[in-house]
Structure formats: structure tokens, C-alpha cells
Chains A and B, each alone.
Chain A
């Protein structure tokens, strides 16, 4: 057999073997693997390269070695799924670097990190002040995660005592002028609804680049022709304004009427409506 044919066959075979092996070994982001995982991925890569260019003459020996490096990680992964002890043994444990705002120097030296490296990692997390750090931990992958002191954390609606509407993901129903039926049926709508909406906006389907329907059933579209201005849905804002107007009207009526019974009815209704407005606000204005 000519040399080049042998290399061709070996390469093609190994291409698929390695491909399958790496797929079986699981989904991992290459930047977030532990040092040992990096080692066995590298060994697999080098072994398959050596075998495929015929540097390892004996195919069987090469494949045995490759098999070991593929199988052992899979076995180890399985064991670490089953037992916490194995998991720590194989993947290592996370190390606490900062606790209650104090740097743990002995832990730093244990994972061989200097103070400068600690500060650099913190800066990478947008923390320039060590005083802001409540807790920092180094994961087994070498990545550092930081918890800020509670007064330095970004404000959330919860901190402000504000209620916000739950946001579920919008469905993309039009892409490149084509209707995506699966996404439409996911939110319980059909093509007829979509066509009515587009008609109301006065836009032909083939002019729509992207169309999304949000959780409350409003359609947002982006057109190919950017010179056309599309009115984006403002129904919710209008609805909110209307409710407030009606509430104001009720208060006016209650002030104007002389009839005591009517007065109390209007006031009562105005209060009820005020409550509704308050509850609807996070859903209508966001």
C-alpha cells in the first residue's frame, strides 16, 4: 500500500473516532475545564495526530493508548457523578480566597496566587476596591467568583421594593420574510392572527426581516426597508393612561355631586380603580 493512501485512511478513521470520543466525553467549555481535563484533551489530540501521520507505526498500540485516554475520563466522570468524594478527588475543590472581607493568606499560598494576581482577577470582575469584596472563591477550574458587600451590589427591583412583571422570552415568529409556524403555535397563535396584525400595520410579509411576539401577545417588527416608520405597539401605555383618566373622572364626579349616596359610590369606585392601576402598573409600564 502506498504511504499516502495509508495516511489518508488513518486520518479519516481517526477524525471520526476522535470526533465521536470528544462528543461522548461531554459538553465543556474549553476555558472552563480543570487543569487535568486540559491534559487529557491534549493527550487525545496529540495521540490522534501522531497516529494519523503514521509516526506511531503500530496502529493497534496507538489505538490502545488512545482508548485508555478516552475511556478513563469517561469512567472518572461517571464515578464523580456518583460520589462526592471522587468528585473532589478528581476535579479538586474550590478555595475560599476572601471571607467576610478578609483575605485568607494561607489559602492564597495554597493555590499559589500572589496578592497582585488576586487584585487582577478582582479587577477583571470590575471590582477595583478590595474593601467592596465580601467573599471571593476560586473554583476548581481556576476561575474566580466574587460576592460584593450588600451595599455595593447592583440594585435590583427587590431592593427597591418594586414589583416587576415576569418577563418570559419572546417568540420569533417571522424571520427573513418567512412565518415560523412552530413559534407561532408555541404561543397559541396562528397565521391568520399574524396576517391581521401585519395588515393593521400596513406592512407586507416579505418586507419583514424579524418579527417577535412578547409574552403579552404584542407584535414587534423590524423591516428590510428602514425608511418606513412602523408604529411600535403603545397599547399598554395607552391603556394605563386611560385607566388613570377614568379614575380622575370618578373623583371629579364625586366632588361635583350633592347626592351623598352617589358621592360615596364614586369615591369607593375611584379607590378600587386606584388599586387596580397600582397592580397593573408593573405589567403595563416597563
Chain B
């Protein structure tokens, strides 16, 4: 498995997790809990962006593995 495909896997995993977090952020009634979930959403978003940037660089460096 190449580095970029590993990163892609983690990215996909993170996106799935984020969607579950978003579900809870919407469903939860308690304000404090909601705020915690929303904060988690913001931070996972930042990490997703970082990983996507990194993927672009990786694919540029190793074009032979592009798309895997």
C-alpha cells in the first residue's frame, strides 16, 4: 500500500466519523453537548483540509500512484 492510499483511507475514515459527529450535533438537545460536538466538527474540518492538501502534494510527487 502506498503512502497516498493510506492517507486516503484515513481521510475517508475521518470524513465518515465527521458525518456521525454532525448527526449528533444536530440531534442533541442539550446546549453544552451540542457545543462540544460542534467544536469537534470544526477541528475535524481543519484536519480534513490538512490531509487533502497533503494528498495533493503526494500525488504531485508520485504521479504514478495517482488515483489509487
| With contact pairs A216-B28, A276-B44 given, residues A283 and B36 touching in the complex (Cβ less than 8 Å) | yes
| Residue total for A at the interface (Cβ-Cβ under 8 A) | 31
By the criterion CB–CB under 8 Å, are A216 and B7 in contact?
Answer: no
By the criterion CB–CB under 8 Å, are B40 and A272 in contact?
Answer: no
Chain A interface mostly: helix
Does A243 touch B at the CB level, under 8 Å?
A: yes
By the criterion CB–CB under 8 Å, are B40 and A279 in contact?
Answer: yes
By the criterion CB–CB under 8 Å, are A168 and B46 in contact?
Answer: no
| With contact pairs A239-B21, A273-B47 given, residues A279 and B33 touching in the complex (Cβ less than 8 Å) | no
What's the A-B contact tally at a CB cutoff of 8 Å? 77
State in angstroms the CA–CA spacing of A49 and B29 once bound together.
53
Does A109 touch B at the CB level, under 8 Å?
A: no
Q: How large is the interface on B (under 10, 10 to 19, 20 to 34, 35 or more residues)?
A: 20 to 34
State in angstroms the CA–CA spacing of A164 and B58 once bound together.
41
**Segment touching B, from A5-13, A175-183, A244-252:** A244-252
| With contact pairs A216-B33, A235-B20, A283-B36 given, residues A253 and B13 touching in the complex (Cβ less than 8 Å) | no
State in angstroms the CA–CA spacing of A236 and B37 once bound together.
12
> Which chain B residues lie closer than 8 Å to A239 at the CB level?
17, 20-21, 24
Extra contacts, 7 of them, besides A216-B33, A250-B10, A276-B40 (Cβ < 8 A), are: A187-B29, A188-B29, A236-B24, A239-B24, A253-B6, A276-B39, A280-B37
13 contacts between A and B (CB under 8 A): A165-B33, A238-B20, A246-B14, A249-B13, A253-B3, A269-B46, A269-B47, A273-B44, A273-B47, A276-B40, A279-B39, A280-B40, A283-B33
Residues on B facing A (Cβ under 8 Å): 3, 6-7, 10, 13-14, 16-17, 20-21, 23-24, 27-30, 32-33, 36-37, 39-40, 43-44, 46-47, 50-51, 54, 57
Closest 6 CB pairs of A and B: A217-B27, A249-B10, A242-B17, A269-B47, A276-B40, A216-B28
